[in-house]
């Protein structure tokens, strides 16, 4: 199994091989003209981080992504649901093709990339909120899992440690609890280092547990500059997170 290629490397490889297994229905969140509780725009101090301007919300029935939670997405960001069953079938197909032709490195890489984008630790990709229409290169990805006994901290630790390998190290992990709309969750900020690409990247994710299973929101970007620019969108999602 190929591991530790890094987010930037994975993005480049996906573009090169044309693997788009996570493409969903292509809908976008529709703004309703009202702000969800806790959402605001602008910036302040370190204890009150910047919050992106609201563009719409997702998670509810009929929205671009139907999820166990609802939250607001930043202005001009677009949401697209991930058909996990269809994506898993494509991953299996790629893996079968790779096994049939072990000398075809492209298919092996494509299968590994697709699988890593579909599953991570205890959760499976369910929705991707794209920042490109707003001028940033990155996304907020939503992952969901099956109901169980694990709390939010355990789920998030499982999600994060699933990235580690012989060539990928995770450092400076900082976990903190938060509460939003009556929902208790856990957030983590950490540094991910790829020895293959010889680069490090800032990462941010959060997890909550709902009656329908755990939910993880993870922020991904091209580089640290993009990561910092998109943090207000992550903060908006966290502050408006609700369990319907």
Give the tens place of pLDDT for each residue, 145-155: 999 999 999 99
Q: Over 70: is that where the pLDDT of 190 sits?
A: yes
Phi, psi of 132 (to 5 degrees): -55, -40
CB burial readout 216-225, b (16+ within 10 A) else e = bbbbbbbeee
- What DSSP designation does 29 have? P
Cα–Cα separations (whole angstroms), residue 120 to 43, 104, 112, 145, 185: 32, 25, 12, 10, 19
Distance CA 54, CA 77 (A): 9
- What DSSP designation does 51 have? B
202 neighbors 224 (Cβ within 8 angstroms): yes
- pLDDT at position 146 is 95
Please write the tens of the pLDDT for every residue from 54-112: 999 999 999 999 999 999 999 999 999 998 766 666 666 666 766 666 665 555 555 56
- pLDDT at position 163 is 86
Range scoring the smallest mean pLDDT among 44-58, 107-121, 190-204:
107-121
Cα–Cα separations (whole angstroms), residue 30 to 33, 59, 83, 102, 243: 9, 12, 20, 45, 19
Tokens representing residue 191 in the block: 């540094």
Determine the average pLDDT of the residues in 219-224: 90
Phi-psi domain of 42 (left: phi exceeds 0; alpha: psi -120 through 50; beta: other): left
Q: Over 80: is that where the pLDDT of 198 sits?
A: no
pLDDT band at 193 (very low <50, low <70, confident <90, very high): confident
Q: Over 70: is that where the pLDDT of 44 sits?
A: no
- pLDDT at position 106 is 58
- pLDDT at position 165 is 80
Other residues' Cβ atoms within 10 Å of the Cβ of residue 191: 15
Other residues' Cβ atoms within 10 Å of the Cβ of residue 10: 18
Domain chopping of the chain, boundaries: 31-82+122-239
Closest CA to 35 of 60, 50, 58, 53: 53
Other residues' Cβ atoms within 10 Å of the Cβ of residue 119: 18
Phi, psi of 185 (to 5 degrees): -140, 180
CATH homologous superfamily of 31-82+122-239 equals Mog1/PsbP, alpha/beta/alpha sandwich (3.40.1000.10)
Phi, psi of 20 (to 5 degrees): -125, 55
Tokens representing residue 7 in the block: 């987010």
pLDDT band at 197 (very low <50, low <70, confident <90, very high): confident
For the chain, the average pLDDT equals 79
Q: Over 70: is that where the pLDDT of 205 sits?
A: yes
- pLDDT at position 115 is 62
């Amino acid at each position: 199994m190929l591991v530790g290629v890094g987010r930037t490397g994975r993005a480049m490889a996906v573009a090169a091989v044309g693997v788009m297994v996570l493409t969903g229905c292509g809908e976008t969140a529709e703004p309703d003209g009202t702000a969800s509780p806790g959402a605001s725009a602008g910036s302040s101090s370190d204890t009150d981080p910047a919050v992106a301007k609201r563009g719409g919300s997702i998670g509810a029935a009929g929205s671009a992504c139907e999820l166990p939670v609802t939250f607001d997405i930043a202005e001009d960001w677009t949401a697209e649901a991930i058909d996990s069953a269809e994506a898993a079938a494509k991953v299996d197909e790629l893996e079968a093709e790779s096994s049939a032709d072990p000398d075809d490195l492209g298919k092996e890489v494509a299968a590994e990339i697709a699988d890593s984008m579909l599953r991570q630790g205890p959760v499976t990709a369910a929705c991707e909120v794209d920042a490109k229409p707003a001028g940033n290169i990155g996304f907020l990805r939503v992952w969901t899992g099956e109901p169980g006994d694990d709390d939010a901290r355990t789920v998030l630790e499982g999600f994060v440690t699933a990235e580690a390998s012989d060539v990928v190290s995770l450092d400076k992990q900082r976990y903190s609890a938060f509460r939003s709309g009556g929902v208790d969750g856990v957030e983590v900020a950490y540094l991910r280092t790829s020895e293959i690409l010889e680069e490090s990247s800032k990462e941010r994710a959060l997890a909550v547990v709902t009656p329908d299973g755990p939910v993880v929101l993870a922020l991904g970007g091209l580089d640290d500059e993009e990561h910092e620019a998109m943090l207000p969108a992550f903060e908006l999602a966290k502050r408006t997170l609700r369990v319907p």
